[in-house]
Amino acid sequence: MGQKGFFTDTTLCIGCKACEVACKQWNQLPDDGFRLTGMSYDNTGHLGSATWRHVAFIERPVPLPTQTVGLLDFSWLMASDVCKHCQRAGCLEACPTGAIIRTEFDTVYVQPDVCNGCGYCVAACPFGVVDRREDDGRAWKCTLCYDRLGEDMTPACAKACPTASIQFGDVDELRERAHRRVEQLHDKGLEQAYLYGADAESQPGTGGLNAFFLLVDKPEVYNLPPDPVVPTMKGREAWASMGWGALGMAVVALGAVLFGREVVRG
């Protein structure tokens, strides 16, 4: 069946939100309301338990090198964010019940009938993707349309994208396509283009992403962490720090006892 994933080319996104609508429609997710957040034309704000695709509208007071603007220097970056389905998934490693599994498509899937709502996965996700619903307390996120994959269908968001900004397929093939796209953009003068999370070398903290992105600005501009790290990768450092801390407290306590005895004798 192979390793499936997304390549999101943000330079092709037009902000139409077709991916958001298709995701909600297929997965029967509730709407996010129809009031704008104040962040440009954004009405969803961020990923959440009922928002598995989020289109960000990023307004910048500088033009892209390949753009010709009028009197004002301005550019709009648009990007459809989604669960990254990390190669080393913090949510999966933190789940105590086995509710989060890696599927035969190498995607990360939350089994709602097994989830007990502990929330460990929420804290373990370095991207802030996983969220709990207020009504039942269980964790929810993008499934990469697991039910559609089983029927050899394209995920709803990629199917609905009119500009091919969201591309679905075998991850190895998507990586090759993404690298060719970066080279094309560089040849056209957009030297800022690069891939985010395409492999373990560029993102060792997650082992690479099955849903990676082409960006033209710093990750922080897109509300993405510049160096995401799965919490368990720092487990050894945390235990070592705790050990040194405990040893330091023991030394201080012993010193206080010995010093106290000297004072009493004096």
Whole-prediction pTM? 0.83
Q: What mean pLDDT comes out for the span 151-156?
A: 97
- DSSP output for 39-73: STT-SS-S-BTTBSEEEEEEEESS--TT---SSS-
d(CA 86, CA 93): 11
Q: What are 12-31's pLDDT values in tens digits? A: 999 999 999 999 999 999 88
Instruction: Lowest mean pLDDT of 10-14, 74-78, 160-164, 247-251, name the range.
Output: 247-251
Q: What mean pLDDT comes out for the span 39-48?
A: 86
Contacts of 66 (CB under 8 A, 6+ apart): 188, 189, 190
Q: What percent of the chain has pLDDT over 90?
A: 72
d(CA 145, CA 161): 15
Q: What are 198-240's pLDDT values in tens digits? A: 999 999 999 999 999 999 999 999 999 999 999 987 655 654 5
pLDDT over 80 at 259, yes or no? no
d(CA 241, CA 223): 30
Q: What pLDDT is stored for residue 252 in this prediction?
A: 73
Instruction: Lowest mean pLDDT of 28-37, 76-85, 147-156, name the range.
Output: 28-37
Q: What pLDDT is stored for residue 69 in this prediction?
A: 64
Pairing of strands 4-9, 211-215: parallel
Q: What are 159-203's pLDDT values in tens digits? A: 999 999 999 999 999 999 999 999 999 999 999 999 999 999 999
Mean pLDDT score of the chain: 89
Task: Kindly report the length of the chain.
Answer: 266
